Amino acid sequence: MQLRKPTPQNLLQAGFTLIELIIVVVIIGILAAIAIPKYIDLTTTAQTNATKAMAGQLASGAAIQYAAVQAGTAASSTYSSSCSTAWNYTAGGAQTGYTIGGTNNTCTLTGPNSSSAAFTMP
């Protein structure tokens, strides 16, 4: 009967098998295939939300101007509910890439990525 000699620890090989490495690569590939389209979609969502925020800014600026004219505290005593004058009631003025259209105090702001948001002039 022959006794087995214990192998020293420094002679043992350690590492991953080929199957384990392939499984890890496949999992990373699946995660990348799911994550990349989500990040690409974030750009469009951000531009759409920027247009909505700009429409909110225009609506609130017009409401503040309307209230100031009604209270008699505005620098100018005139207020126009025309959509084309909406930029006049914001501090920044007209923004590049945005257009305003609409009738009957209901305005539509169109952004540079063709996203749109509606707001109402008082």
Q: Write down the pLDDT at residue 92.
A: 75
pTM of the model: 0.65
- Residue range 29-82, pLDDT digits in tens: 999 998 888 777 788 888 899 999 999 999 998 898 899 888 888 777 778 888
120: amino acid identity, one letter: T
Closest CA to 81 of 54, 118, 121, 120: 121
Q: What is the mean pLDDT of residues 19-31?
A: 95
Whether pLDDT at 11 is above 70? no
Closest CA to 83 of 94, 72, 68, 69: 94
Q: Write down the pLDDT at residue 5.
A: 67
Looking at per-residue confidence, does 79 or 10 come out higher?
A: 79
For residue 80, give the 3-state DSSP assignment. Answer: coil
